[in-house]
Structure 1
Amino acid sequence: MAHDSLYAAPPTVEAELGPGRLATLRGLLGSWDAVIVAALVVAVLVAGLTVENFATGRNAQFLLLDLVPLALIALPMTLIVITGEIDLSVASMVGLCSTLMGQLWLSSGLSLELICVLVVLLGAVLGAVNGLFVTGFGLPSLAVTIGTLALYRGLSFVVLGDQAVADFPADWTAAVVQNIPGTSIPVVLVPLLLLAVVFGVVLHATPAGRALYAMGNNDQAATFTGVSVARTKFWLFVVSGAVCGLVGIFWTLRYASARGDNATGLELTVVTAVLLGGVSIFGGRGALLGVLAGVLLLGVLRNALQLADVDANALTIVTGTLLIASVVLPNAVADIRARLHRRRQRQPVAS
């Protein structure tokens, strides 16, 4: 017998918000990458209008050069975090590679080309040490890389002590800051973009990339599907170390100085950029586009605050705040999306 329900059905989301507002809300919550890109656009516009000298070619050059080390290290860090691991020793590896470069140039008599190859190999070895402890001995990557963070930084000062090596060839130091003719875009950005394309294709368009997400969601399930979890993670740490070797070379030549304290604190900025870009700290979720947008957003904010003569301690506070927000906000957005989805599924039962 047909009759009206004794209990009124709960109001639908469409009824409460209206179809137009609901569609807008779903769009905003649909992609964290889009949120970060929008925030980046707003930050650039506000800084360009309110901060003196921000919207100049000279500042754009310095901003992009500052972002090169951050973006380079963020590429392998993204893959590592997606698998559910982390590498906090990246800045210390950069420092150790920088001091080795300085020591070899100071005393070995080798060509700078050969020294650069050796430095990248050293970075790969340092990354392999991290990978061995994590995958070979089954230790947590957080604990391992906190330990090697201190170890590698200490070794940096063992190699050079408190001295700095600064007499690198002028043509090399000029090359790393050279612009593309007629622009304010550094030439070094070209290989960075090529590497970003390679990492993006691997992550988003290959079975290896799908395996990384599977590992981040469930190591054991990924193993049952034929993924070599330990070997894959090991090589990710090796790649991370090799990239840190490249960054050590760039850092040394850009500032024409090999020092034991080079890149100190960079690991916090890298992790902030990766998480701000939407990569889950728990693994299994994230995209490279969001990470690159996070790198740019973080760089723009820090650059604008520096131009505005904000104290260095305040910059650290901003970075820490963004790190916390990058963990809390994506999870809050995911929770809101889940609640909206459940409410959409709640329909009145026809009698």
Structure 2
Amino acid sequence: MTVETPPAPAPAAAAPARRGPTLPSGSVITTFLVLFLVVAAFSVEGFASTRNAGFLLLDVVVIALIALPLTLVVVTGEIDLSVASTVGLCSAVMGQLWVAGLPLEAIVPLVLVLGGVLGAVNGFLVTRLGLPSLAVTIGTLALYRGLAFVVLGDQAVADFPRAWTTWAISSIGSTGIPTVVVPLLVLVAVTAVVLHATPIGRSLYAMGNSEDAARFSGIDVARTKLWLFVVTGVVSALGGVYWTLRYGSARADNATGLELQVIAAILLGGVSIFGGSGGLLGVIAGALLLASVRNALQLVNVPSDVLNIVTGVLLITAVVAPQVAARVKGRRRRAPA
């Protein structure tokens, strides 16, 4: 007697990818940037000068620098709000080590290691203990800033070698382009290649879309995210070194509020707060747009409190606008022809 083998059950449908609303592409935010630069050049006195362009780019450098690794973190669906506090703590430690008599050649590597440790703390709490990154990094935002004041108090250290501080604000010839833009562009190129042209980048998008699906495909999600937090800490520490040398002062309150500008640049650049989408071109354009808006407002003597309000409005817009656009698009699809 022949026994028929029952057909194998159909494989279960894969869980739908976790996506947020579609965000503006890099080309869209770049278009807005170009339009704003043109309008500001003709309407704001001094905006288009070489001197002002140099100051504007110096403001962009630290925002864009920290935005590079943080973009990768956000693409995976996580967040790190402690980056500015890491900058402040590393600046404070840098000042204290300088007072203790260490040379900057030894201080800078030590500060970068400290940044990696601070990032590892965030990564451990998120990936090993399973805590939400938003809650963790809100906590470390306060913790690291508090430690900065423990290390240095409310004093400032301002007698760093002139050769270092001069280089931090130097320009390439008479172009007005800051020298630090060159290494920044190298880091941008490396990050862009990693994110958009390697299996690592594809795995980051996969994690942002569906963490479970990424695990089933063989991606070590926890390890990857842990290293992303470590790299973000190291780069934030590098930002602390740059901030200290640019302003020639190590202070515990350095870079207060910078995390809002970095996150606003990332979201304005089209990276979804839910993870899984966005590109680096838009992030750099978002950083330039944010810095340009603040620079133009400063030239017309807008108070600093208003600048913070503008940053907050842009951040809210970057989050809310895609939600509104997605709902409008959904209603149009459901509307009868």
Structure 1 length as normaliser, TM-score? Answer: 0.87
* Aligned residue number for residue 90 of structure 1: 83
* Aligned residue number for residue 140 of structure 1: 132
Q: Pick from 51, 55, 59: which aligns with 2:52?
A: 59
Alpha-carbon distance in structure 1 between the residues aligned to 2:108 and 2:23? 44
* Aligned residue number for residue 235 of structure 2: 243
* Aligned residue number for residue 119 of structure 1: 111
Residue 205, structure 1, aligned to residue 188, structure 2? no
CA deviation after TM superposition for structure 1 residue 94, in Å: 0.2
CA deviation after TM superposition for structure 1 residue 34, in Å: 2.0
* Aligned residue number for residue 220 of structure 2: 228
CA spacing shift, 1:266–1:309, aligned 2, 3 Å = same
Q: Pick from 16, 26, 38: which aligns with 1:33?
A: 26
Q: How many residues align?
A: 316
8 Å contact 1:76–1:236 — kept in the other structure? Answer: yes
Query: Structure 1 stretches of 5 or more lacking a match?
Result: 1-28
Listed as ranges, the matches of 1:111-190 within 5 Å are 111-190=103-182
Q: Which of these two proteins has the greater Rg computed from alpha carbons?
A: 1
Amino acid at match of 2:207: M
Amino acid at match of 2:28: V
Amino acid at match of 1:102: G
SS in 2 for 1:315: helix
Residue 75, structure 1, aligned to residue 65, structure 2? no
8 Å contact 2:24–2:269 — kept in the other structure? Answer: no
Amino acid at match of 1:147: G
CA deviation after TM superposition for structure 1 residue 110, in Å: 2.1
8 Å contact 1:131–1:237 — kept in the other structure? Answer: yes
Alpha-carbon distance in structure 1 between the residues aligned to 2:169 and 2:334? 53
Could you say what the CA RMSD is over the residues aligned between the two structures, in angstroms?
Answer: 1.7
CA spacing shift, 1:297–1:210, aligned 2, 3 Å = same
Alpha-carbon distance in structure 2 between the residues aligned to 1:277 and 1:30? 8
Q: Pick from 184, 204, 210: which aligns with 1:192?
A: 184
**Cα displacement string for residues 93-135 of structure 1 (whole angstroms, at most 9, x for unaligned residues):** 000000111000101x222111101111110110000000000
**Cα displacement string for residues 194-246 of structure 1 (whole angstroms, at most 9, x for unaligned residues):** 00111111110011101101111111110000000000000000000000110
CA deviation after TM superposition for structure 1 residue 335, in Å: 4.9
SS in 2 for 1:274: helix
Query: Structure 2 stretches of 5 or more lacking a match?
Result: 1-21
* Aligned residue number for residue 310 of structure 2: 318
Amino acid at match of 1:327: V
Alpha-carbon distance in structure 2 between the residues aligned to 1:197 and 1:75? 10
Alpha-carbon distance in structure 2 between the residues aligned to 1:335 and 1:188? 42
Residue 276, structure 1, aligned to residue 268, structure 2? yes
Listed as ranges, the matches of 1:277-292 within 5 Å are 277-292=269-284
8 Å contact 1:74–1:291 — kept in the other structure? Answer: yes
Listed as ranges, the matches of 1:93-108 within 5 Å are 93-107=86-100
CA deviation after TM superposition for structure 1 residue 330, in Å: 2.7
Q: Pick from 298, 313, 325: which aligns with 1:306?
A: 298
SS in 1 for 2:98: helix
Structure 2 length as normaliser, TM-score? Answer: 0.90
CA deviation after TM superposition for structure 1 residue 341, in Å: 7.4
Residue 42, structure 1, aligned to residue 35, structure 2? yes
CA spacing shift, 1:83–1:156, aligned 2, 3 Å = same
Amino acid at match of 2:152: L
CA spacing shift, 1:158–1:203, aligned 2, 3 Å = same
